[in-house]
Amino acid sequence: MSVSAAGPVVAMFHDEPTGSAQYVVADPGSGACAIIDPVLELDRRSGTIATRSADAILAHVERQGLRVRWIVDTHPHADHLSAAAYLSGRTGAPVATGTEVTGVQRLWKGIYGLPESFPTDGSQWDRLLRPGDTLELGGIEGRILFSPGHTLCSITPVFGDAAFIHDTLFMPDSGSARADFPGGDAAALWRSIGEIMRLPDECRLFVGHDYRPQGRAVRSDSTVAAMRAEHPHLRLEETAFVRMRRERDATLPLPELMLLALQVNIRAGRLPESDAEGRRNLLLPIGAFSGGT
């Protein structure tokens, strides 16, 4: 947990299989909180869905006497299913994401061959957030930065002195996000990182993943000043960064859950509708991407 007199209280929940960092950010004065980037577990061997991470978040909320006012996905994730719909059902809180998610929906609607009736207007979310929009969290006003590059719709919520920078930068020993997924752009990622680094030096930065290189303990937060001083990718010029990112991304395998996860995450974490027998089925588009092992 990270506590600052200048801003909200932040609790992190780490999902070890995917390295995902999930957050509860709370206004200590009112007890209002937001849940950011929650994980829904999928066992791809058995097709079983589990809610361990989300239930741990709910238990924390209850222990601390918090009230969930928002559930925010910073982007449709490629490495895990979103638990936003599950948590909304349990808490009644509205679900929000960036307004450009409609472009991601259109991309993946084509990849999955979804029916014409599948909506790509973002109506699966309760609120679509534009750059500069605000989210009230008790006595703390949150604002939204538009941070494309990893995806074309990524956002960075900033509550007080706490910015949730998702898949832009990771910790200094872990680099930056890949930008080779559909809609990704390494140059846009560079510009998004630049905007984040113009936040005040003391602003706390909470990353979206920590893969624990060399088996070290989980680390999920830093500051603008510390990132600027320690992160090797920030020492590059834009051209060198873009070249490094493209060369590196070309060597990376696709996330194991990507083709299963995106069809859920473009629905705001809702599973596909049940078929006539009451089963929910996930699609696996064959040949949609090259580079399989």
Alpha-carbon span 11 to 21, nearest angstrom: 10
pLDDT digits (tens, 9 = 90+) for 210-249: 999 999 999 999 999 999 999 999 999 999 999 999 999 9
Domains annotated on the chain, with CATH:
9-253 (3.60.15.10)
Beta bridge partners of 12: 23
Q: What whole-number distance in Å separates Cα of residue 156 and Cα of residue 167? A: 10
Confidence of residue 105 (pLDDT cuts 50, 70, 90): very high
Where in the chain does DSSP place strands (E)? 9-15, 20-26, 32-36, 39-43, 48-50, 67-72, 81-82, 95-98, 127-129, 134-137, 140-146, 155-159, 162-166, 204-207, 221-223
Q: Cα-flanking dihedrals φ and ψ of residue 137, to 5°?
A: -130, 80
* pLDDT per residue as tens digits for the range 109-168: 999 999 999 999 999 999 999 999 999 999 999 999 999 999 999 999 999 999 999 999
Strand pairing category for 32-36 and 67-72: parallel
Q: What is the pLDDT of residues 30-62, one digit of tens each?
A: 999 999 999 999 998 999 999 999 999 999 999
- The whole-model pTM stands at 0.94
Helix residue ranges, H only, 64-112? 84-91, 101-112
Cβ density class 36-71: b for 16+ within 10 Å, e for less: bbbbbbbeeeeeeeebebbeebbebbeeeebebbbb
